[in-house]
């Protein structure tokens, strides 16, 4: 997956601002490409356990999708943070992806240690294995 430095920095800033809660957002890029050209932060709508889970509201997805169409972009994936946890998908992340329409979708996980140090990772979910595979992350 390719992402401009400015967009990755925006994700890092969002993750630090939201600490100690998980933050989330949407990755936008050209159709069929593993390339991010813009990120859109959205509110974490999780109410029961926002320190360890996130939820993107359907109305936020629809709004971002409509805006992206005007830019000839589509949703290529999602990002969320893991406050004080590793930058890799959790079992909860895997279960949620397996229950949804995530085949081939990019999932970025940003580890945030102490609200300061950030570490990115990228993954692609595959229905065939019901799990994530590491996706090389190229920062431009």
- What are the residue numbers of the active site? 22
Written in H, E and C, the secondary structure of the chain is: CEECHHHHHHHHHHHHHHCCCCCEEEEEECCCCCECCEEEEECCCCCCCCCCCCCCCHHHHHHHHHHHHHCCCEEEEEEEEEECCCCCCCHHHHHHHHHCCCCCCEEEEEEEECCCEEEEEEEEEECCCCEEEECCCEEC
């Amino acid at each position: 997956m390719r992402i401009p430095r400015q967009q990755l920095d925006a994700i890092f800033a969002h993750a630090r601002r939201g600490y100690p809660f998980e933050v989330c957002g949407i990755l936008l890029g050209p159709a069929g490409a593993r390339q991010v050209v813009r990120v859109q932060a959205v509110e974490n709508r999780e109410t029961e356990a926002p320190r360890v889970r996130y939820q993107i509201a359907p109305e936020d997805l629809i709004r971002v999708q409509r805006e992206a169409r005007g830019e000839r972009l589509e949703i290529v994936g999602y990002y969320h943070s893991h406050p004080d946890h590793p930058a890799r998908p959790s079992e909860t992340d895997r279960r949620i992806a397996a229950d949804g329409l995530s085949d081939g979708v990019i999932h970025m996980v940003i580890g945030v240690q102490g609200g300061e140090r950030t570490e990115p990772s990228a993954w692609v979910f595959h229905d065939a294995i019901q799990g994530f595979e590491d996706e090389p992350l190229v920062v431009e």
